[in-house]
Amino acid sequence: IGGVTIARNDVVREDDPTNNVPDSIFSKLGVQLHRRDKHPIGIIKNAIYDYFDNNYSKMFDKIEDLSPIVTTKQNFDDVLVPADHVSRSLNDTYYVDSQTVLRCHTSAHQAELLRKGHRRFLVTGDVYRRDSIDSTHYPVFHQMEGFCVFSPEDWKESGMDSTLYAAEDLKKCLEGLASHLFGAVEMRWVDTYFPFTNPSFELEIYFKDDWLEVLGCGVTEQGILKQSGLENNVAWAFGLGLERLAMVLFDIPDIRLFWSDDERFTSQFAEGDFGVKFKPFSKYPPCYKDISFWISESFTENNFCEVVRGIAGDLVEESKVRDEVESKLNVELR
Ligand code: PHE
């Protein structure tokens, strides 16, 4: 990642009872789907970059190659996650050892980036969560974190108090982003709780007969700003799930498809194109059969196709004559 190779024994430790990283997760480290411009995750990341570049004249720094292996301090303490919060459990989070985890959100980088002097940034990366199995959950997915610090001049001239100012700015920004990505789409704001923001909100989008949560956000807790000497400032933050957004945008019915290298999936997307709709295909890989047979006036290609239809019905999608050698037809069935 970013020039650093992650070895198996960096994350899988059979001798450490705290370690719960399986090989299936190790195999995803460093894949970085968000850095592939022709992959739906990369396409949507670039579309969000465009929105921020155009509306904020490139004032947001873009960071996308931070290692997903972080300390528990980065992942939890720095963003004020309480000591007894469920997300700290071995049931919810992948632990490398008692002090080290695979980040479960890109919020793990808020504090270090503030400390390094960043004031407006977008951090994108793969995040890891132990979770149930269904079409919208996968133990690895991609998030983009947005963070924006304001100074007293910003809210003073608005006449609003600083928290309200930040909350309004945040919602306006994200509603603008949603319409940049989706045009007209049904969405709603839901009040919620995060340890690192107050007030906190979730944005849900109507997708396939249900409300789908696509991002969490809110006004940053003062405690986080104070750690970086920003006690006179106010900030907002959001964390959005790129898979969820891409599922809605491209009409992709299952989160597992993002990991497919089947060309029936990958060939449907092109760099910079976020207007395409995914065309579903069978979950099973295609199976090709080559068949050769003799033709004569009484047994033609069409006669052969009738035999195939009679036996296989519509399972055979295509029958193609490859060549004809001395009255012998070679056909490929798919
Ligand atoms: N980290 C939160 C999550 O993963 C999302 C979030 C980010 C919420 C920033 C508020 C502010 O669910």
* Per-residue pLDDT tens digits for 184-226: 889 999 999 999 999 999 999 998 888 989 999 999 999 999 9
Q: Which residues contact 7 (CB under 8 A, 6 or more apart)?
A: none
Report whether residue 42 contacts ligand 1, using a CB cutoff of 6 Å: no
pTM of the model: 0.88
Q: Which atom of ligand 1 is nearest to the CA of 215?
A: 5
By most ligand atoms within 8 Å of CB, the mutation choice from 75, 92, 107 for ligand 1 is 107
Q: What pairing do the DSSP bridges indicate for beta strands 234-241 and 210-220? A: antiparallel
Tell how far the Cα of 216 is from the centroid of ligand 1, in angstroms.
5
Tokens linked to 195: 């340890």
Q: What is the pLDDT of residues 122-174, one digit of tens each?
A: 999 999 999 989 999 999 999 999 999 999 999 998 999 999 999 999 999 99
Q: What is the pLDDT of residues 223-255, one digit of tens each?
A: 999 999 999 999 999 999 999 999 999 999 999
Tell how far CA 279 is from the center of its chain: 20
What span, in angstroms and rounded, lies between the C-alpha atoms of 147 and 233?
13
pLDDT given at position 2: 62
Number of other CB atoms surrounding residue 208 within 10 Å: 11
Report whether residue 39 contacts ligand 1, using a CB cutoff of 6 Å: no
pLDDT given at position 5: 83
**ipTM for the assembly:** 0.98
CB 287 within 8 A of CB 318: no
pLDDT given at position 3: 60
Which of 54-63, 168-177, 238-247, 318-327 has the lowest average pLDDT?
A: 318-327
Q: What is the pLDDT of residues 87-100, one digit of tens each?
A: 999 999 999 999 99
